[in-house]
Structure 1
Amino acid sequence: MLSAQEAQFVRYPRQSMDADPNGKYIMRLLSDALALDNQHYELIPSKDPMQQARAIYEMTSGMGSIDVMWTVTTDEREKQLIPIRIPIDKGLFGWRLALVVNPKLLHQVKSLDDLRKFSAGQGFDWPDVGILRQNDLTVMTATAYEPLFFMLRAGRFDYFPRSMLEIQKELDTYRSIGLHIDDAIALHYPTALYFFVSPRKPDVAKALQQGLEKMLKNGQFEKLFQQYLGSTIQRARIRNRTVIELNNPLLKAESLPLDRNEL
């Protein structure tokens, strides 16, 4: 056992702010939650950036280099790792807007059948690939995040679905190559963004769970959520869009704790 004075290192996958536009919010949430435990934790990024598949491998390996990560949940991931079932996105990662080259491209889309005429782009190891394909949507994939924006610009696919919490910051980064946020539709499927902890670190999982619960109770969670994400949510203007509902075959929707008043 470590004494209260000794720091326990908690390693997470390094990501650029481009690859994770909500990184500042998530890191603040992670550090504040762990700070509420009696044990002192020191957050350490991995030496190099990691794709999701590699991070999960490192989390499940007996000698892996990663202890905690954040990603959208699936039934499979919840079996492999220790899920902290507090949706740090309040389920909003399931609301997807589209980056496009032609801002009027999707203006005539009123149904899922209409959307099937177009192709989407995604990262090869993102759960969204399976969700979109299970709904009979065409998906092109890339092995890295940044090239997807240039593939969209080059016409390799028609639209790039992104979380409503990510898309504005991404547009700000890639606006110069001629991208736009579609203002006509929103895709929706049940999901949530969780922290996941390696099975090697059950003590970290317990501390993180308890810390986040305390933050929900004392209002600190809501304060950070609004501070970092409130304006982004307003700019998405969901009420003005045609909502295309998708099934999520990768997750039992009843496992999502989205009916909690605090969320």
Structure 2
Amino acid sequence: MSKLYKFISWEAAIVILSLLFWGGFARLVGQLSAGFGGMPFSFEAVALPAVFFLSLASLLGLGILFFGTLFQTLSSGALAGAVFLLSSGFTDFNLAAVGILILCLLYSRLSVTSESRERIKINARIILSRGLTPIFIGLLVMVSFVIYENPGVQALEKANKIPPSGEKIVSSVITNFIGGQIEGNPREKQAIIKEITRQTMNQLNSLAAPYLKYAPPVLTASLFLIIWGVHEIFVWLSILIGSLLFFALKKAGFVKIEERDAKAETLIL
């Protein structure tokens, strides 16, 4: 298999994974929006997009390791960005997100190529650990902008009260904390809890109403920070996927490791 054919196959795989991820993520965001309206939210819908996200990050990192050229990096960024724009729309935020992804890929290329050239032995795990964090930043920015531009999230800006999902949370908290202390039959208890919930929501709405217009950016930034807070877990999962893929491709003959003589620098005082 020629290097050109391998390159084309790799870029095609990036396009396919991008389609799978953004398609699954669009459905996930739709469920998130439905959750704001009080509809049930299925956390099972997170599994597939998460796997596609981790696999896409691994593929982008391995592509830089295998090919390492500026053209390949720009090509991967452009293809992944094009799929993102076709899926999420050609908005100013989305165009900026594609630009950020490409810049992150270029920075990742510096780290990956530097690490791979300076190593005596090729270790995909260590090399990927150097290059995946910038890729994650670029992809998370794109994810954040999609959430921000979602109609359900934008609707919070014009809302004058907390979404129904918030009322469900308040009702659940009240039931768990004081439900056992309320006397009476189940119907009377439910009526009392409902009244307490209504009064609590009225107080919360009066306090939160002036600030709901800031909800979309605050919610988006909060989700970004929450994910970023545990991003090392996702990086290591992506490294695991990438290492397994590297091993499989090496066994299949897609990539080889050859020993070559190399000169090393030594400090002398």
Q: TM-score, normalised by structure 1?
A: 0.26
Structure with bigger strand share is 1
Structure with bigger helix share is 2
**Which protein, 1 or 2, shows the higher relative CO under an 8 Å CA cutoff with sep ≥ 6?**
1
